[in-house]
Chains A and B, each alone.
Chain A
């Protein structure tokens, strides 16, 4: 995890510093007529966060200098992983949009289809996938409506 720790440690340090100098001053008032200012605790935590993130990156850099094993280390995020999570985020965003504008069942049909497609169902079990897409969202909708009294959007 050495390389990814260095990268994530540095990224988190930058995030922490941006939070301290830009986000917190813009989003939280630093003034209170009594007691402590509202930004006291978030600021305190963010300073800790920056210190820890810098320590993570720093300690792994020192380790990397000492040992050569890091060069053969497998990255936890390969290009295929980035593509996958990017695609998944798009699918989730579309499902959200569908749920808001067309209702839960349509969003469900879309989500089950995409999930099934990724699991290889279209090639191996197309009928099963079609059944899952049509039946599962309706069943979940009915169960939530009648058993748990939760009215999902229609």
Chain B
């Protein structure tokens, strides 16, 4: 109990609150710009946290993540172009509301439901993560290897459009994680004689290249080759609009409450399983709300419930994503994979032992997450006009400047030109991955998991080399092996049947993670 209280009090310092607020502000700002998203901002911001305390650093990054998720809805509603893919179905009802002169109401509903979904999943995280970590501590290397294999399969199968391409990306990511010194013999592996590679490929510059710079390259290319479509602008702050069209009344929020709770449950469930992510959660939440509605035909015509359903679901993923990260050391999403880099940079190893070794920090993070929700609510509410303005800043200004932010962000990781080189190489790799539809999210998660996965596999091989049949006495191993095979079969079957769900009007970003 003392640890919990100490952690909470750590979070409530002026400096930490300031960092969270800055993170949320930055997240909404980046999320609101079409083509940019939260994970991108987190990747660029991680090296900047080097001089912060571990709590301030993680709180800052979580602030960006929370803000980024809401920020995506701003451009989805105002421009019919989702700032981030998870807000795609927000545009279905958000944009028609803008056309009706109720843009401000739509933005506010998106904010309220986003914060509600976030709070719900955070509460689930606080209550579930620690007991799950206790169970995880009782698992041996064979069990952990089985869990890792299962997670990688799920991530590979669900985060892209093709199971095979996803698995290839995951395996390649894990393979590249073997670059550097061998964990047992300390012999160099795949270093090509480059001394900087002795410590392995740095994850942060790699992530900046894959996530941020490659996306900017794609956007620049889209403009250069004239493949872009222009979207009109709308006035939503006009004082001529009636007051009820510029706010969400309590009765309106209450009427959406059932939808918000349902979507928050869906988002939390989806977030707790590695790999599915906020995009799927958003669509599932929207679909469930439509099915449960007495007037499903009104969805897509400017229904507040549609916005509430998507935003509550995609925001609920954020907290739940940290359940596998903190309890098992498995990143449930791209943002969580980048957070691993931040944890490691501050000497914290995410996994079941984190509750024993850094209990105070974990509870500090929980408190910071809770705080971030309210800060998100405040900044989102008061900064609406600014964020709406930001959406209309031309890409011709934003993208060239972001290129130098990426370069500076990569250099900040270890103050070395080697990091800049890594970032640039992976920007080109990321460009090809996006073009050829190989999931870079799966690649990064495979890379982040590679080290611990290798350790578990090697320990298991040594333990069971002489008596492999003993593995049959480990029910968890058998359970996860069966689950892996079953999910592979299910995913392969489903992928061959289902085409992606898209609205006829919404401009969905092409390059999903």
Contact = CB atoms under 8 A, between A and B. Distances in A.
Interface of A: 1, 4-5, 8, 12, 23-24, 27-29, 32, 34-36, 38-42, 44-46, 48-49, 52-53, 55-56, 59, 76-77, 80-81, 84-85, 88-89, 92-93, 95-96, 99-100, 104, 107-108, 111-116, 118-121, 124-125, 128, 132, 136-137, 140-141, 144, 148-153
Contacts of B415: 150-151
Interface of B: 47-48, 50-51, 161-162, 164-165, 167-168, 171-172, 174-175, 178, 182, 184-185, 187, 189-192, 216-217, 220-221, 223-225, 395-397, 399-401, 403-405, 407-408, 411-412, 415, 417, 420-421, 424, 427-428, 431-432, 435-438, 454, 457-458, 461-462
Contacts of A93: 424
B464 to A, nearest CB: 13
A35 B190 contact: no
Contacts of A55: 164
Nearest to B411: A152
B410 to A, nearest CB: 10
Contacts of A49: 168, 171-172, 175
B165 A5 contact: yes
Contact of A84 (B161, B178, B221, B458): B221
B178 A45 contact: yes
A119 B395 contact: yes
A45 B443 CA distance: 13
Nearest to B182: A38
B417 A153 contact: yes
Contacts of B424: 92-93, 96
A139 B223 CA distance: 26
Majority DSSP secondary structure for residues of A touching B? helix
Contacts of A100: 417
Given A38-B184, A111-B407, 14 more contacts: A35-B184, A35-B458, A40-B458, A40-B461, A88-B217, A92-B427, A104-B404, A104-B411, A118-B221, A119-B223, A132-B397, A136-B401, A144-B48, A144-B412
Contact of B396 (A56, A96, A107, A125): A125
Contact of B192 (A24, A27, A29, A150): A27
Contacts of A36: 184, 458, 461-462
A53 B397 CA distance: 40
B221 A107 contact: no
Contacts of A81: 221, 225, 435
B190 A108 contact: no
A144 B45 CA distance: 11
Contact of B400 (A52, A99, A115, A124): A115
A80 B225 contact: yes
Given A40-B458, A99-B407, A148-B412, A52 B167 contact: yes
Majority DSSP secondary structure for residues of B touching A? helix
Contacts of A41: 178, 454, 457-458
Given A76-B436, A85-B431, A111-B400, A150 B411 contact: yes
Contacts of B462: 35-36
Given A41-B454, A85-B431, A115 B399 contact: yes
Contact of B189 (A35, A38, A140): A38
Nearest to B193: A27
- Of all A-B residue pairs in the complex, the 9 with the closest CB atoms, nearest first, are A115-B400, A38-B182, A119-B396, A108-B404, A150-B412, A112-B400, A56-B164, A45-B175, A92-B424
A111 B201 CA distance: 25
Nearest to B428: A89
A19 to B, nearest CB: 8
A104 B168 contact: no
Contacts of B432: 85
B224 A118 contact: yes
B396 A121 contact: yes
B436 A4 contact: yes
A144 B174 contact: no
Contacts of B407: 95, 99, 104, 107-108, 111
Contacts of B461: 36, 40
A140 B412 CA distance: 12
Contact of A88 (B50, B51, B421, B428): B428
Contacts of A141: 408
A27 B191 CA distance: 7
